[in-house]
Structure 1
Amino acid sequence: MELLDKKVLVTGGGTGIGRAVSLALAERGAAVAVNYSRSVGEAEETVRLIKSQGGHAHAVQADVSREQEVLAMVDTLAREWGSIDLLVNNASVTRHIPMNDLHAVTDDAWDELFQINVKGMFYCARAVAPYMLKQKKGAIVNVGSIAGITGSGSSLPYAVSKAAVHGLTRSLARSLAPHIRVNCVAPGAVLTRWWEGREKQMEQLAGSLLLGETALPADIAHMICAVLEQEALTGQIITVDAGQSM
């Protein structure tokens, strides 16, 4: 699929991987809706960066864990654009909880991570699906994590939520075939603000990677764009982890 002139919604598009993929999509000629929940300044800065390079973008607020906000956002975009061609389900949160401390895992942690990381992605996919089905063409990329494959990560509920994202990807691929392709890109450790204050841990991790250094947000963004473009791909979980899961 050619990305030129496509209309794309990127959730959590103002920071980290979301910003990188928003910029990469705009470089390829797509019009980008940069979604944010609270990070309005970062989202507006992402839009400014895109426009400074001659691209087309605007920021749009919605908490993806609240379905009515998702529906209102998608309806507004569809009216402005005429339709929505692509969705990058990137918005996610984590809690840093030692993996061996089961008693530190609260109901609140479970509820927040599943509401945003899993149900939020489902709400967004369900909201855009009618527009894609109407034009008999569309693609969705969910951002998972190798934590959902290895079972280890920033916390137990985070790893489990990302495993659920991988399952959601496969189920949506079946539900929305043949007109909408649904895939997942599962990063390993990526140099984003989630690692702020944990630089020593990141350096230790880099030493054990096959490629010797952690990925950058742009690395993940390039893969997401490639997956959106590849029309013979659906229901796949694609890792980009510098050999971390080997």
Structure 2
Amino acid sequence: MQGAAPKLAGRVALVAGATRGAGRAIARELARAGAVVYCSGRSTAQGPSDYGRKETIEETVELIRAEGGTAHPAVVDHRRLGEVRSLIERIDQDQGRLDILVNDIGGEAYVEFDIPLWEFDFDKGMKLFDTGFTTHLITSHCALGLLTSRPGGLVVEVTDGTRAYNSTHYRSTVFLDITKTAVDRLAFAEGHELAPHGATAVSVTPGWLRSEMMLDHFNVSEDTWRQAAEANRGKTDAVPPYEFVISETPAMLARGIVAMAADPDRSRWNTTSLSSFQLAEHYGLTDVDGSRPDSWSFITAMESRPVAEIDAAEFR
């Protein structure tokens, strides 16, 4: 843990999509800061999701409890309105409040890159959209009544790419592009409706996230990822690509979200789009290795400068 934890004692949080990756890290950091955290997801020991991953929502809760935090598992498919409504009713009955909502379900397992819309399998595309965006819409629809029952609430919509980056970059397929930009727009719209109730909504994005899924995809580990990426500098179609040298752990985004939740002036961020780097820079945070990767600036620089001239250390 980094320094003194922000104090969120007495706050109640829901992290939708807390099974792995950023969601798991966010749930753990919120609990370390004293919040009661409801961790929801589909993957359980008895019934894993179609992501085909080994992580479960129970494991996330076990990790939090082992660290002395308070967490409750909730096996929920956030594409199903009734299941989400039941979860919010449970939180209301148990706690009588909801202070922090983090919508982190991303649908990355369903992405197929560089396929034009007319050739894309429509059902697969809609599965990506419904998992990566409709889940956010349903969860906010069900939760915001409870969250606005007292002032000070925070809604965090986790997406991929800052608003500035996505406004000028096409994200490989229509379904992926629309999904990720829609999540950001949802936060923008929510912020306008939440402001009169003293609540805040923001969209946030990690940089190149070094999640469990990404490490496995590139067949590297926390001990080997940097060396493997550096070895592929200047190569095309290499695995992992050189750009992976700027990757970050899920902890940097999680630390930034916790700091924002603890900030009495967090309404300054309402309706905005923030990167993990921006949050870390503003709140004086780093990743677990003490660096502060600026992934989006690094990726943008690679579009206009020769790779040989770019040192990733400039952006960490």
TM-score between both structures, scaled by the size of structure 1 = 0.89
Contact 1:26 1:55 in 2 (8 A): yes
Distance 2:123 2:141 in 1: 25
Provide the C-alpha distance between the structure 2 equivalents of 1:128 and 1:102, rounded to a whole number of angstroms.
Answer: 33
2:64 aligned partner: 50
* Pairwise CA distance, 1:104: 4.3
Structure 1: unaligned runs, 5 residues or longer: 207-211
CA–CA distance in structure 1, aligned partners of residues 129 and 185 of structure 2: 13
Q: Is residue 187 from structure 1 mapped to residue 206 from structure 2 by the alignment?
A: yes
Number of matched pairs: 240
- Cα offset for 1:92? 1.7
List per-residue Cα deviations over 1:149-199 (Å, max 9, x = no partner).
13225x441222010111111011111213220001112321113322335
Q: Does the residue aligned with 1:183 lie in a helix, a strand or coil?
A: strand
Matched position secondary structure for 1:125: helix
Query: How far has the Cα of 1:66 moved from its partner?
Result: 1.1
Q: Are 2:218 and 1:198 aligned?
A: yes
- CA distances 1:67-91 after superposition (whole Å, capped 9, x unpaired): 1111111111111111111100001
Considering fraction of residues, name the structure with more strand. 1
Residue 57 of structure 1 and its aligned partner are, at CA, apart by: 0.4
Structure with greater Cα Rg? 2
Aligned residue type for 1:116: T
Is 2:258 aligned against 1:225? yes
State which of 16, 20, 29 in structure 2 corresponds to 1:15. Answer: 20
Counterpart secondary structure, 1:58: strand
1: CA distance, partners of 2:111 / 2:139? 26
1:236 paired with 2:268, answer: no
Equivalent-residue separation in structure 1 for 2:68 and 2:32 (angstroms): 9
2:74 to 50, 56, 60: 60
State the identity %: 23
Give the match's secondary structure for 2:145: helix
Distance in structure 2 (CA, Å) of the matches to 1:73 and 1:3:
22
Native 8 Å contact 1:34 1:43 kept in 2: yes
- Please report how far the alpha carbon of residue 228 of structure 1 lies from its aligned counterpart in structure 2 after TM superposition: 2.4
Task: Give the TM-score, by structure 2 length.
Answer: 0.70
SS of 1:177's partner is helix
1:28 aligned to 2:26? no
Equivalent-residue separation in structure 1 for 2:74 and 2:191 (angstroms) = 26
Q: Is the 8 A contact 2:19 2:56 kept in 1?
A: yes
Aligned to 1:142: 157
Deviation at 1:2, TM superposition (A): 4.9
Say which SS state the counterpart of residue 18 (structure 2) adopts.
Answer: coil
Partner residue in 2 for 1:6:
11
Aligned-pair CA distance for 1:110? 2.6
Question: Following the alignment from structure 2 to structure 1, what is the Cα–Cα distance between the partners of residues 84 and 121?
Answer: 27
CA separation in 1, counterparts of 2:7 and 2:192? Answer: 23
